[in-house]
Amino acid sequence: NAGVMQNPRHLVRRRGQEARLRCSPMKGHSHVYWYRQLPEEGLKFMVYLQKENIIDESGMPKERFSAEFPKEGPSILRIQQVVRGDSAAYFCASSPSFSGFDTGELFFGEGSRLTVL
């Protein structure tokens, strides 16, 4: 599955800068999930979006983090004023329908690794 594209694959930022991570879902998929992976912590749910709508953002930190999935173009995860604790791998997944229940499967990208110096 090479369908979910994330870029950049690696991103280095200094403290205080902004990080923008992009995710292009598989063709025909209208639902996008973002997860953060920290060592020994597994995949932490951040946000679930449908085109032009945020369905569930209960995993997003209250400050500095935002996500969007516009009608046209990729989904963007934006982290403002990054801190060292934001260093992690950020994974995007897409599904073709509400929760992907047609197949029950999320399709993952290869992740974006953010390093904050």
Partner 1 sequence: AQSVSQHNHHVILSEAASLELGCNYSYGGTVNLFWYVQYPGQHLQLLLKYFSGDPLVKGIKGFEAEFIKSKFSFNLRKPSVQWSDTAEYFCAVTATSGTYKYIFGTGTRLKVLA
**Whole-angstrom Cα distance, residue 107 to residue 29?**
10
CA distance 86 to 41: 14
Rule CB under 8 A: choose which of 25, 32, 48, 114 binds partner 1. 48
28 to 11, 56, 76: CA distances (angstroms): 28, 21, 18
Q: In terms of CB distance, is 17 or 96 closer to partner 1?
A: 96
**111 binds partner 1, rule: CB under 8 A:** yes
Residue 41 carries which side chain, given as an amino acid letter? E
Residue 16 engages partner 1 in binding (rule: CB under 8 A)? no
Q: Tokens in use for 76? A: 């963007």
Q: Which is nearer to partner 1, 14 or 27 (CB)?
A: 27
Cα→Cα distances 85→5, 16, 32, 90, Å? 25, 12, 24, 13
Only one of the segments 20-28, 38-46, 65-73, 79-87 lies at the binding site for partner 1 (rule: CB under 8 A); that segment is 38-46
The verdict on 34 binding partner 1 (CB under 8 A) reads no
- The interface region with partner 1, picked from 15-23, 65-73, 74-82, 100-108 by CB under 8 A, is 100-108
Binding site for partner 1 (CB under 8 A): 1, 4, 33, 35, 40-45, 48, 55-56, 58-59, 91, 93, 98-99, 101, 104-106, 108-111
